[in-house]
Structure 1
């Protein structure tokens, strides 16, 4: 019985020692901490709600762009804003796509880097200093009106 207790204590001591050295070994050096703080410190990553933009061709809806984006903003700047930034992002995306395409095949070949830069510039134009630093894609897809009709018909048939 004493032998079992001693083996248990030995296993606990080895586990705690391993944990101690593992944690101590992963502490960044003082030079690394300064770089991380300047790059990551003070930046917030905020997701927008999922939103859609109708794509109009020949006076009717040909499909929708469905998007969810993530933007980076300085924490101090975010605290000073009185209007949610998502409104500006949604507006800029809407301006980019609504009425801009006469052929839906053009939408499927969108260069998002150009859209991203244009949206960031359009948002920052509303403020005296740059607010949005980067715009990342969480979801960005095109769904044709035909696909939506088919999904609705399948859903109606199941009920």
Structure 2
């Protein structure tokens, strides 16, 4: 009888010891020197923008631009105005106001320099390094003659062709049970 009780107590002690060891050593160590990872950047998807090209006081054609900004999510919390408004204004200023692109010499267009000017222009306005990168998914030029002719076989002139990938789609919320 004593052997049976002693065996039961031994099994109880071993079970409790195993549970205690699993709880104690199964947790990650408490690290006081934990380094916080920087928050991931945020994507600001721009709409397809149509910007007029003026020549001799009349509209000669249109730039069609679809772009995305990669912004610092910490600084973005302080921004009150919509970023698409800043993006539209910067693109309008560069393409229509400064005319940095001559549509007759599209082959010489510096895409990397154009993206840098957009980034630097928005960051200068915000007075903070908000924009990390500019991604251009589409940039075309369509003449007024093509629009007036309404000829579906004539296509716009491609200025930028797939230089940047599409931004990642926002993850859909998973239903909980």
TM-score, with normalisation over the residues of structure 1? 0.64
**Greater share of residues in helix:** 1
Q: CA deviation at 1:61?
A: 1.0
Q: Deviations over 1:27-66 (max 9, x none)?
A: xxxxxxxxxx65xx42112210111111111221111101
Question: In 2, distance between residues paired with 1:74 and 1:102?
Answer: 28
> 1:81 aligned to 2:105?
no
Q: TM-score, normalised by structure 2?
A: 0.58
Q: By how many angstroms is 1:86 displaced? A: 1.1
Classify the secondary structure of the residue corresponding to 1:55.
strand
1:5-20 mapped onto 2 (5 Å cutoff): none
**1:89-108 correspondence to structure 2 within 5 Å:** 89-99=87-97, 100=99, 104-106=103-105
Instruction: Name stretches of at least 5 consecutive residues in structure 2 with no aligned partner.
Output: 1-36, 153-177
Give the match for residue 144 of structure 1. 143
Give the distance between the partners of 2:46 and 2:71, measured in 1 at CA.
13
Structure 1: runs of 5 or more not aligned: 1-36, 155-159
Task: Answer yes or no: is the 8 Å Cα contact 1:56–1:102 preserved in 2.
Answer: no
